[in-house]
Amino acid sequence: MDDKLFITLVPGNTFIDKLTGKTKVRIFLLLIIILTATWDIRVIFPIFILSIIMLVSIKPDVKKNIAVIIFVLLMNIFNLFLTWIIKPDYGLEMVGASTVLFRFSDFFIVTAETMWYFLVRLMKFMASFLVSLTFIQSITPSELAAGLHSIKIPYKICMIVSLAFRYIPDITRDFTNIKISMQTRGLELDSRKSSIFTRLKQYVLILIPLIITSFDRVGNIANAMDLRGFGKSKDKTYYCEHEDTRGDKLLVPFIIFLIILYIALVVIKAVYKAPYEVWAPWIS
Amino acid sequence: MNKKTLGQKLLGTWNTKTIVGVAIGAALFGVLMNYGGIKVTTNTSLTSAYVIPAIVGALFGPLPAGLAAGLGNVVADLLGGWGFWFDWSIGNFVAGYFAGLVGLFGADVENGVFTPKHALIYAILCVIGCAVGFGVVTPFLTYMWYSSELTITWIQAWAAIVSDATVLIVVGLPLLFALAKRNARGTNLSKED
């Protein structure tokens, strides 16, 4: 379980790591909003390439990343497969034509448009996954809070988010500890030795102490925060937020470009009402 | 025991403890959403994460419960890598809010008050919350923001309603009883005849 989580607590020293939380959060949010808003491959493909470059540039743990990327890729492909089973001719709705490439039966057909739609969708999801994977590996919880605060989110909400991220490694640690101590008391979690139903029941036995210890800790953490004067004044500054580096200044035009791109996408969508959601080169 | 006004009950009391509680709830929700469940359909699973809004709601009130579920879903999206589904986050927020409303009917888990009557009210609230959250809010927002795939969203919505309400009730209730029993201080005294 621990090797699947990517929370960073110590900032690294690559270009993206050195940026301020402000820049990281802004770029991340803009990229995610743009990726959510559009189905146009002319926008998605550059972001997809950019996200790969970004991920490589922060020099992540290769083995860990490859494993999770493959897992997500397979999950997405499986998802697309389910969509295909429910509606093989989905491309007709989304792209606006249906060129049959292959025919299993009258219902299960493979059309070029459906495949194109699936490609766009896969790229869209993978891009947003890679962007968030880069983001989560390059930002520390405090920087995240500082960045969110810089876009005028109330600091109490920022605190919730940063505490939540800060707490995730503790959960995995507690989970492992409780699991091991339960196993020493004879809890059988091996999938070959106990049925899925008993294992489910046993996971509940791990879950209850996990949840109760976590919520018991609330009082301690809250007292520690109160003692340091949390919530007394109207605003809060962040120790981890440093002055803009050269990289931050370099990226300001990029942030402005992303904002303009997003506005342009929204305006184009509102003014020029495309008959179909997904653009394909062979359909004008 | 101090009486709370209706407004305070609807919003929950906001102090440092609540903030930490919501944060830990969101973290647990995010992790359990990813690693504590079995897949039912795509994007929905029979996950243990849904006991979290029940507990946060019982301890801190409905709005913290909703926030823990909504922010927890964002955390889960960030960790899980299936893209961001803010429509589901808001659906979760609504479902969590409803699950946390049980305090309005006199249940006070923090001080050990949780009777079978409250359990019944809680179960009904959970079903209503899931139905409104995943059956109305999420499909509506999916239609508004992503403008696609309503058939699949409906299947997912039904799976979500059934699985999440089941978890809220079947796993949540014993946990709430356990928590209430644990917190009961001086409430088990009975008047002698």
Q: What would the pLDDT profile of B72-86 be if each residue is shown by its tens digit? A: 888 887 776 666 677
pLDDT value of position B145: 65
- B154 touching chain A per CB within 8 A: no
Chain A nearest C-alpha distance from B42 (Å):
6
Question: Which residues in chain B come in under a pLDDT of 50?
Answer: 1
pLDDT value of position A237: 82
Cβ-defined contact of B19 to A156 (cutoff 8 Å):
yes
Chain B nearest C-alpha distance from A250 (Å):
27
For residue A245, is it within any domain? Answer: yes
- Contact between residue B84 and residue B77 where contact means Cβ atoms under 8 Å apart: yes
List the single best residue of A47, A80, A162, A218 to mutate versus B (max B Cβ within 10 A). Answer: A218
User: What would the pLDDT profile of A180-200 be if each residue is shown by its tens digit?
Assistant: 898 898 877 776 777 777 777
Chain B nearest C-alpha distance from A243 (Å):
27
pLDDT one digit per residue (tens) for chain A, 284 residues = 444 467 777 777 888 888 888 899 999 989 988 888 888 888 899 999 999 999 998 888 888 888 888 888 888 888 788 878 877 777 777 777 777 777 777 778 888 888 888 898 889 888 888 888 888 888 888 888 898 888 888 888 888 888 888 888 888 888 888 888 988 988 777 767 777 777 777 777 788 888 888 888 888 999 998 898 887 888 888 888 778 888 888 889 999 999 999 999 888 887 877 777 777 777 75
- B182 touching chain A per CB within 8 A: yes
Residue B104, helix vs strand vs coil: helix
Contacts of B81 in chain A (CB under 8 A): 68, 72, 129, 132-133
Name the domain count of chain A: 1
Range of the domain at A57: 2-140+240-271
- Contact between residue A221 and residue A166 where contact means Cβ atoms under 8 Å apart: no
pLDDT value of position A256: 93
Smallest Cβ–Cβ distance between A226 and the set B16, B145, B171 belongs to B16
Domain ranges of chain B: 7-183
Q: Which fold has domain B7-183?
A: Arp2/3 complex 21 kDa subunit ARPC3 (1.10.1760)
- Contact between residue A192 and residue A161 where contact means Cβ atoms under 8 Å apart: no
For residue A45, is it within any domain? Answer: yes
For residue A6, is it within any domain? Answer: yes
Cβ-defined contact of B81 to A72 (cutoff 8 Å):
yes
Distance, CA of B152 to CA of B42 (rounded, Å): 9
CA distances to A113, A259, A279, B54 from A92, in Å: 7, 32, 12, 43
Contacts of B16 in chain A (CB under 8 A): 222, 225-226, 230-231
